[in-house]
Amino acid sequence: MTAPAPLHTAAPGTGLRARARRGRLGIVALALLCGLVAILVIGSRPGDYVPLSTENSTPSGARAVAQILRGHGVEVRQVDALARAAVREPDATTVVVANAALLTGGQVRSLVEYPGDVVLLGESGAALVPLGIDATEEAILVPRTVTAACEDPDAVAAGTARVDLIGLVADGTAATLCFPQGDGVSAFARVEQGGRTVTAIASSSLVTNAQLDSAGHAALAVRSLGRHADVVWYVADGFDPSLLTWAGSGSGEVPTEVEATPDFLPPGTGSAFYAIALAVAVAALWRARRFGALVSEPLPVVVRASEATRGRARLYRRARATGRSAASLRAAAALRMGRRLGVSRTDGRDALIRAVSRAADRPEADVDRLLYGPPPHDDAALLTLISELDALESEVHRP
């Protein structure tokens, strides 16, 4: 009685891998669908992450100070282009410009001509001097909380402030600098110019959501920004060439709608581009071939050596590669004669020439010319070389 044949069980995980290979297309499609959903969700999620923006609720934003100002009856309106400011009452409107270092020369001139109050937040660069603040900016290496040390009423009411990131160093006496460090770098500057007030808060981090509740930052921000009933808030981005507009600027009636940078693309175009790019990337990964080590495979048909030789010769002739053809013929002839005479490749050129010369009873110079001479310059010279090589090889092989 014979024993029953043992049952063969599949290795753990083999079935799962097989199913994964069979459903590879479905897995790729599912991953692509998940990616598209993630992009659409992220793209449709409302949020503003621009530093010093009044709609930004992250630590770098200024939403908190805007809400406090609105709570005190100040209307805060943020614009994405300077021309959209459209100030109707300059005497009752404060224009706040964040990152004024990105303003163009024309935009700075429009701020200089503006008759109302101006507040600069953060790095102002070349906009300081034209606006009457005779100071230069320096980086702050060691942040420090200091007292006002000036007579400006807003700074005195705040009491203390933190000098952080960027500070101001006075180049003259045209502006009042407050909250100075020991090295003379201040966080705040103000100047009265032509019936208006220009304020520079170089250490702009004190008006951000993260630090508004520290020291006297809230008091300083509310008193500096809320001097009038209206505030127009603009965050410079470097791509807006439009100029500040206000009533009485000489441009006629102030427009209610200003299209500074027209957008001809429909809404959602950016999300669609991201989705298409993701689809192309997934398709490329799916269809890409991995290059590994070369593997020799049998040809589907048998090619005769004579046919391969003729085909290679035709290629050489079409390319007029007489030199390469001669080198290939000489190498093959030298290899065959060396094997017949017992001369290996490692013996060198001189050993082969001496052996062939003795076997063929020819001068060594003649053998050297045939095996290692200059390449032929045309087809006729190549044919002559072939005949001479054939004759030399027949002499060596002669018994």
User: Over the stretch 131-142, which tens digit does the pLDDT of each residue have?
Assistant: 999 999 998 878
In the prediction, which pLDDT does 189 show? 94
Query: 196-201 and 186-193: which strand pairing?
Result: antiparallel
Q: Cβ(74)–Cβ(224) under 8 Å? A: no
Q: Tokens 């008759």, residue?
A: 115
Give the contacts of 139 (CB within 8 A, at least 6 positions apart): 165, 166, 167
Query: 93-98 and 176-180: which strand pairing?
Result: unpaired
- Hey, what are 339's tokens? 């094997």
- Above 60 in pLDDT, residue 14? no
- Above 70 in pLDDT, residue 249? no
Domains by residue range for the chain, with CATH? 63-235 (3.40.50), 306-397 (no CATH)
Closest CA to 227 of 349, 116, 367, 321: 116
Q: Calculate mean pLDDT across residues 348-360.
A: 89
- Above 50 in pLDDT, residue 23? yes
Q: Calculate mean pLDDT across residues 293-301.
A: 74
Q: Calculate mean pLDDT across residues 31-56.
A: 76
- Give the confidence band of 258 by pLDDT, cuts at 50, 70, 90: very low
Q: Which long-range contacts (CB under 8 A, 24 or more apart) does 276-285 make?
A: 278/32, 278/35, 278/36, 278/39, 279/32, 279/36, 282/28, 282/31, 282/32, 282/35
Q: Cβ(104)–Cβ(260) under 8 Å? A: no
Q: Cβ(69)–Cβ(76) under 8 Å? A: yes
In the prediction, which pLDDT does 254 show? 47
Q: Cβ(243)–Cβ(106) under 8 Å? A: yes
In the prediction, which pLDDT does 48 show? 73
Query: 166-170 and 176-180: which strand pairing?
Result: unpaired
Q: Cβ(312)–Cβ(368) under 8 Å? A: no
E strand map for the chain: 75-79, 93-98, 117-121, 135-139, 144-147, 160-163, 166-170, 176-180, 186-193, 196-201, 230-235
Closest CA to 238 of 100, 63, 71, 356: 100
Write the pLDDT tens digit of every residue in 310-342. Answer: 888 888 888 888 888 889 889 999 999 988 888
Q: How far is CA 134 from the centre of its chain?
A: 37
Of the given ranges (98-107, 318-327, 353-362), which has the lowest mean pLDDT? 318-327
- Give the confidence band of 97 by pLDDT, cuts at 50, 70, 90: very high
Q: Which long-range contacts (CB under 8 A, 24 or more apart) does 51-55 make?
A: 51/98, 51/99, 51/208, 51/235, 52/98, 52/99, 52/121, 52/122, 52/204, 52/207, 52/208, 52/235, 53/78, 53/98, 53/235, 54/78, 54/233
Q: Cβ(187)–Cβ(202) under 8 Å? A: yes
- Between 382 and 173, whose confidence is greater? 382
Write the pLDDT tens digit of every residue in 162-182. Answer: 888 899 998 887 889 999 987
- Above 80 in pLDDT, residue 265? no
- Above 50 in pLDDT, residue 234? yes
Q: Tokens 């290692």, residue?
A: 372
In the prediction, which pLDDT does 12 show? 47
Of the given ranges (16-30, 162-176, 320-334, 360-374), which has the lowest mean pLDDT? 16-30
Q: Cβ(86)–Cβ(258) under 8 Å? A: yes
In the prediction, which pLDDT does 163 show? 87
Number of helices (H), then strands (E), in the chain: 12, 11
Query: 176-180 and 196-201: which strand pairing?
Result: unpaired
In the prediction, which pLDDT does 305 show? 79
* Highest mean pLDDT of the ranges 143-157, 287-301, 318-332: 143-157
Q: How far is CA 394 from the centre of its chain?
A: 68
- Hey, what are 42's tokens? 């992220």
